[in-house]
Structure 1
Amino acid sequence: MRISHVEAFRAVMVSGSTTAAARILNTSQPNVSRSIAQLEKSTGLRLFERLPGKVVPTKDGLSLFKEVQRSFVGLQRLEEAAKRIRRFSGGLLRIAAIQTLALGLIPRALRRFAQIYPEASISIHAGHSAAVSQWVDEQFCDFGVVSHLTGSYGFESEELYRIDGVCVMPKGHSLAAKAYIEPADLAGEPYISFSQNDYGRSDVDAIFEQAGVARQMTLDTPYSSITCSLVAQGLGVAIVNPIAAQDYQHMGVVIRPFRPSIKHSAMLIYPRESREDRLVSSFVEVLKTVTLEEQRALTGPA
C-alpha cells in the first residue's frame, strides 16, 4: 500500500469523483483511477462501484475511509506539532503550581501569554508544593510555582514574590470598618485556619500566642481558595495570601491589611535544562510582569 494511492482514494471520497480528485491532487483523472485500482489490488478490497459517469463507494470503501480519516487527522496533528517545535524549543508548555495560584494568577498570566503566542499548547497541573516539586524534578512539568522549597531536589529556583498576608472577612463584618486588623481584633472570632500540617500555620499561630489572643478555631483547610469561599459564606475570618484573596472579592469578601506582617511567598522552580526553553522563559516573563502589576495594585483596603 502506497501513500499516494491512499491520498487518491481519500481525494475521491472527499470530492465525490475521480475528475474532482485529480484537480485536488493536481494530476490527471487516469492517474487517479490507476491509483484507486492499485489500492484495491493491494488491499484485496473493492472500494467503488463503477457506474456511468460516477463512482459510488462500497461498504468496504466506506469502512476504509473512516480509518484513512483517522490516520490523516494524526498526520495533521504531527504537522501542527512540528510547527510549534519550529516556533518554540518545545511544542507543549507544562505548568505545575500550587492551587492558590493555579486558580487565579496563572490563568490571568496565561490570558496575556495566549495573546502573544496563540499557537502554544499548554497543560496546567495543581498540587501542594511537595507534589509540584516532584513533578518538576521528574520533568513531568517544565517548571513549577511553589510556596516553599521542599526536599533536596536538583532544580534551580528564584523568588516570584514575597508579600504580606491579609485578613479576609465576609461583607458586613464589624471589623470591615477598620483600616487594618491586629491579633486582638480577632479574639473569640470564628477563624478558618491552615491545616495542622500545612506550611505556614505555625507562623500564624505563633503571632496569636505571643499576643495572648485565643481565636475560635472552627474550620481548617490547606487551600486558600477554599478558605476564601468559606469566608464568603460567612463562616469565619482568615489570614491568607492577598493574591488569592482578590479572586473572591466578587463574592463579597472584604480584604484588610494584617499587622504584624505575615509573609506569603512563591518560588519558581525549573529543571536546569528547561530554563533555556524559549516557551518556558517567555511565559515566566509574562508571569513576572502580571505578578508585579498585581502586587502594585494591592496597596490598600478594598
Structure 2
Amino acid sequence: MGIREIEIFRAVMTSGSMSKAAVLLGVSQPAVSQAIRKLETAAAVSLFARTRGRLEPTSAASALMSDVDRFFAGYEYIEHRIRSLRSYGLGRLTVAINPAFGLGFISRAIAAFEADKRGVQVSLQVMNTHEVHETVSAGKVEFGLMAAGLSMAGLEHSPFAHLRAVVVMRDGHPLARRRTVTPKDLERQPFIALNSADPTRISLENQFGESGVFLKPLVETPNSHTVCELALAGVGVGVSHPLVAADYMDRGLTIRPLSVDVVLNSVIAFRAGAPLSEHAKGVIRQMRVQLAQESSALAAKMAA
C-alpha cells in the first residue's frame, strides 16, 4: 500500500464513483479499480459495496477517510510551504494570534517591524486561543500568541503580557464618574459578558462571587472587541481586555479599573526543537516594545 492508492481512494470518496475518480486523476478506470482492490487487500477490510450498479462506501471507508483528510491537509500545507520558500526564500513569517492582540495591536507592531525590515512577507492568522494552540502544535505557524492556561506539552513558551481587565462603558455613563468600579456597582447594570467558557469570564465570576455578586448578562460575545462595540452603542457596560478597550477611547468609550483583580496572562509559544527565525525574533521584540508603550500610554490616560 502506497500514497498513490490512498490518493485514488480519496478521489473515489470525493467524486462518488470510480469512473469520475479516473477522470479526475487522469488514469484509466481499471487502474482505479485495481488500486482500490490492492488497498482493500492490504487493509483486510471491504471499503466499498457495489449495490445496483452504485458504489457505496462502507463504515470502514468513512472511518479511513477522516484520517486520509488529515493526512492530505498536512501534505498540502507542506506543498504550500515549499512554494512559499521558492517564492520568498526565508523572507516569510507565519504567526497565529488571539483576537485581543490580533487587530490594532499586532497591526501597529508589524507596521513598525516592516518599517525596519521591508520585504518580509507576514502571514497573520487571527483565531481563538484553542485554535492558536492547535496551529502552533501542528507546526503550521512559526509562533503563536495566546491566553495562558493551556497545556504547553511539546511547546516552548515565554510570558508575554500580565494585564488587568477593565470596565468599559459609553462616555457619560453614570459609572464614568467613579474612579474605580466595584462588583456591586455592576450588579444592576445591563452587563455585556464574554462567553461562559472564556477564562476572563470565569475569573470575573469567581471574584464577583466572593463579593456576593452574581451577574446576569444581557449579551454574551466571544471577544473584547465586540464587548467594546456594544458598550459604545449604549447596550450596557462590560469587562474588556485593556489594550482592546484603549483603541476605542477616542471614539467615545470610557475605561475604569475594577476594584478586584481579573488578570489576563498571555504567552508566546512555538514548537520545541524548532528554533525561531531571526524575523520571528524581530517581530516578537517589536511586540514587546509595543506592549510596553501601549500599557504606559493607557495607564497615563486612566490616571488623567
Aligned to 1:160: 160
Tell me if structure 2 keeps the 8 A contact 1:84–1:119: no
Distance in 1, matches of 2:178 and 2:229, equals 22
Give the corresponding residue for 1:258: 258
Structure 1 unpaired stretches of 5+: 1-77
Query: How far does residue 84 in structure 1 lie from its aligned partner after superposition?
Result: 5.2
Give 2:284's aligned amino acid. Answer: V
SS of residue matched to 1:102: coil
Distance, in Å, in 2 between the alignment partners of 1:83 and 1:215 is 53
1:210 offset after TM fit, Å?
Answer: 1.6
Structure showing greater radius of gyration is 1
Query: 2:212 maps to what in 1?
Result: 212
CA contact (8 A) 1:143 1:274 kept: no
Using the TM superposition, give the Cα deviation of residue 114 of structure 1 relative to its aligned residue in structure 2, in angstroms: 0.8
TM-score (normalised: structure 2): 0.68
The residue aligned with 2:180 is 180
Aligned to 2:142: 142
Secondary structure (helix, strand or coil) at the match of 1:276 reads coil
Counterpart of 2:200?
Answer: 200
Assess if the C-alpha contact under 8 Å between 1:191 and 1:215 holds in 2: yes
For residue 149 of structure 1, report the CA deviation from its aligned partner. 3.9
Q: Which amino acid aligns with 1:127?
A: M
Deviations 1:54-76 (A, max 9, x none): xxxxxxxxxxxxxxxxxxxxxxx
Partners of 2:246 and 2:94 in 1: CA distance: 25
User: 1:298 Cα deviation (Å)?
Assistant: 2.3
- Supply the RMSD in Å over aligned alpha carbons: 2.1
CA contact (8 A) 1:275 1:281 kept: no
Taking every aligned residue pair, what percent have the same amino acid on both sides?
A: 24
SS in 1 for 2:261: coil
- Given that 2:205 and 2:214 are in contact with CA atoms closer than 8 Å, whether structure 1 keeps it comes out as no
- Distance in 1, Cα, partners of 2:204 & 2:131: 23
Q: Tell me the TM-score normalised to structure 1 length.
A: 0.69
CA displacement 1:24-55 (0-9 Å, x = unmatched): xxxxxxxxxxxxxxxxxxxxxxxxxxxxxxxx
The 1-side partners of 2:196 and 2:214 are apart by 16
1:278 and 2:274 are equivalent in the alignment: no
CA distance in 1, matches of 2:248, 2:275: 33
CA distance in 2, matches of 1:139, 1:213: 43
1:102 and 2:102 matched: yes
Q: Is the contact made by 1:137 and 1:154 (CA closer than 8 Å) also made in structure 2?
A: yes
Aligned to 1:241: 241
Structure 1 position 99, deviation (Å): 1.0
Would the aligned equivalents of 2:191 and 2:215 in 1 still touch at CA under 8 Å?
A: yes
- Match in the other structure for 2:128: 128
